[in-house]
Amino acid sequence: MERRDFIKLSAAGAVAGLAIPAVVNAEADKLPTPPGEVFYTKDSQGRWNGKAATHLPVIEASKDGGKTNVKVTTPHELKGYEHYIVKHVLLDKDYKFLAEHFFDPTKDTVPVSTFSLDNYSGTLYALSLCNKHDLWLSSAEV
């Protein structure tokens, strides 16, 4: 292969390598990820079957004037850095990030988070991340 042909083919390959992932990512952004591939749910526990009772976040929400108060609890004990809930993440109805709370397993004894949202209504999602048993998702209507 001549040097000029090699350069042409290399340039064409680089352009294709940049264009194809952009199209795939644009399509992927339109669809939510199904449970069991990125997160687990009560109905889709995957390889962690039987762990939902202690890993699934529980959402309690109430309205107070223009505020929506949200309490997220995961009924999981914190055993130092050996086994603990790393954080809670709150997402809106479109799975967009709203807030998060990290836990310190040397200080926190129960994974409980409280959030105050400005006049939110609709579906609310909570994620609970365990350092051993992955990411768990619950939802509630507010």
Say which CATH number the domain at 101 has. 2.60.40.730
Q: Which residues contact 138 (CB under 8 A, 6 or more apart)?
A: 41, 42, 56, 57, 58, 59, 125, 126, 128
Q: Is residue 41 part of a domain?
A: no
| Model pTM score | 0.73
Q: What is the pLDDT of residues 89-140, one digit of tens each?
A: 999 999 999 999 999 999 998 999 999 999 899 999 999 999 999 999 999 9
Residues 5 and 55 in one domain: no
Residue 30 near residue 105 (C-beta atoms within 8 A) = no
Same domain as 76, residue 10: no
Structural domain includes residue 124? yes
**Left, alpha or beta for 36 (phi > 0: left; psi -120 to 50: alpha)?**
left
Same domain for 82 and 111, yes or no, is: yes
pLDDT over 70 (residue 53): yes
Q: Show the domain range for 26.
A: 1-31
Q: How many domains does the chain have?
A: 2
Task: Tell me how far apart the alpha carbons of residues 74 and 87 are, in angstroms, rounded to a whole number.
Answer: 10
